[in-house]
Amino acid sequence: MYQFTERFPKKRAFITGAGSGLGKAMALKLAADKWSVGITDINAAPLAQTAKEIEALGGKAFQYTFSVSDKVAYAAAAKDYLAANGGIDVLINNAGVGDGGLFEEYSLDNWDWIVGINQMAMVYGSHLFVPVMKEQQSGHIINVGSMAGIANMPNMSMYNVSKAAVQSLAESLYVELAPFNVGVSIVLPTFFKSAIMQHNRGPEHATSVGKFMAEKQKITPETVAEKILEQSGKGKFYIYHPYSAYWISLFKRVFPSLFLRLKVNMFKKKKWVLENLKK
């Protein structure tokens, strides 16, 4: 039993991007504790499968098929979930997409797309549910960010910027909501096994490495989900997993200039490789 289950006996959670991967893993783990879980995804079929598995585990599923970047659709889903459950205990802002490409080559339309999903969706969800949590004087928000928002590696500025915003939002809300007994956590992982690059819009030569890294990992979404629910349930704000993420963050804080120089050298070598691959 998770500490969240002890803290929130009404057991009400809302999770975005729950049709697969990390979102689904967290939904199923809460379902095993008999939670009522609102789940969203842009694809109806995998979302329906998640709902079926939630019900099989003894939980209750509320399905909402829409893009989290659509604030009107999001508002309708939140209203329906709150009406059906009388409130919310845990909001997990999980939905996200990965991409890559040089800054000047990535179109502004694509910037709107990735920021809408990775950044604004977390603003929408928090904006819709925070008033309810403050009125309840209870609740917890989990933002799934990325070490990319701290490391800011080259060839992925669009992803870095959107994930840096996720952390900034979480830190801001942590302070604002503390007086109302509402907790906040930010998850800062490096790579684990996922399909985060499945909807990428950047060029193949710029995204192939990210796809490979995400697909070859041995760390599963279930392992990461377990860590997130355990640590956020204990009230931990910064959640690093795999733990290598913590050391990357620490290295940058202690040696910021060296960190930048190492990235420049790394990118110079990578740029040479990419240029020769194109020939």
Mapping DSSP onto H, E and C, the string for 29-69 reads: HHHCCCCEEEEEECCHHHHHHHHHHHHHCCCEEEEEECCCC
pLDDT value of position 246: 87
Of 189, 139, 154, 188, the residue nearest 168 (C-alpha): 188
Of the residues 159, 240, 243, 246, which is catalytic? 159
Report d(CA 142, CA 121) in Å as an integer. Answer: 13
| H/E stretch holding 172 | helix 157-177
Verify whether residue 159 is a known catalytic residue: yes
pLDDT value of position 89: 98
Report d(CA 29, CA 7) in Å as an integer. Answer: 16
CA distance to 63, 144, 219, per residue, from 166 (Å): 24, 8, 23
Report the relative pairing of strands 36-41 and 12-15 from DSSP bridges: parallel
Half-sphere exposure of 45 (CA within 13 A, CB side): 0
Domains and CATH numbers, the chain: 3-254 (3.40.50.720)
Residues in the chain: 279
pLDDT value of position 202: 60
CA distance to 188, 232, 234, per residue, from 220 (Å): 15, 18, 22
pLDDT value of position 155: 86
134-137: list long-range contacts, CB under 8 Å, 24+ apart. Answer: 134/177, 134/180, 134/182, 136/87, 137/180, 137/181, 137/182
pLDDT value of position 212: 46
Q: pLDDT of 194-215, one tens digit each?
A: 555 456 656 565 554 554 454 5
243-252: list long-range contacts, CB under 8 Å, 24+ apart. Answer: 244/190, 245/147, 245/188, 245/189, 245/190, 248/147, 248/150, 248/151, 248/190, 249/147, 249/150, 249/188, 252/150, 252/151
Report d(CA 145, CA 81) in Å as an integer. Answer: 24
pLDDT value of position 159: 94
- Cβ atoms 159, 98 nearer than 8 A: yes
Question: If the chain, 279 residues long, is cut into consecutive pieces of 10 residues, what is the mean pLDDT of each piece?
Answer: 91 97 97 98 97 98 98 98 98 94 92 97 98 98 95 92 97 98 95 56 55 60 94 96 86 92 84 48
